[in-house]
Amino acid sequence: MLIKTTDKITFSITERTMTKEGYMIVPGRVARTGTQDYLAKELGIDELEPNTVVKVGRTEDEVFNQESLDSFRDVDITIDHPTELVDALTYKQVSVGHVRTAGIRDGDFVQCELIIKDKTAIDSINKGKVQLSAGYEHELVKSSTSDCDYNQKNIRINHVA
């Protein structure tokens, strides 16, 4: 079963370049490895109480899997996470740019180059809205280790907020 998830950890944008068209190009750390806490209801785990905290692992093998890294290329950038995944029916309402590159490893993080094309979004970034968070689908597999309850497998990116 594929599960829609958004990262809870966010990463700041530091470098900014403007094109002659007024677009903003920025490199950004858009994901990371490690364990993250979710509520059971966020993951669709019906056998647990909805507000039970579930520890979910994102291993290096999965985060830096080439198919996962490649899935960043050309996904839409949104301001905040949309309620549904971005698709052909919703992109005009939510997209403010796109990720230009596949992800590359940067320590425990994934880094990409983003281009923001929407003027309102650029103004918002210039006023301090500088955190990044990936929205994606993955498989959730019960963990065999004691450091987390589940692990994410087959991570595929849908958008970066």
Compute the distance between CA of residue 119 and CA of residue 4 in angstroms, rounded to an integer: 29
Predicted confidence (pLDDT) per residue in 60-86, tens digit: 999 999 999 999 999 999 999 999 999
CB atoms within 10 A of CB 47: 6
Predicted confidence (pLDDT) per residue in 54-64, tens digit: 999 999 999 99
Nearest to 133 by CA among 37, 27, 34, 9: 9
Residues 6+ positions from 29 with CB-CB distance below 8 Å: 11, 106, 109, 110, 111, 132
pTM metric for this prediction: 0.89
pLDDT at 139: 95
Residues 6+ positions from 61 with CB-CB distance below 8 Å: none
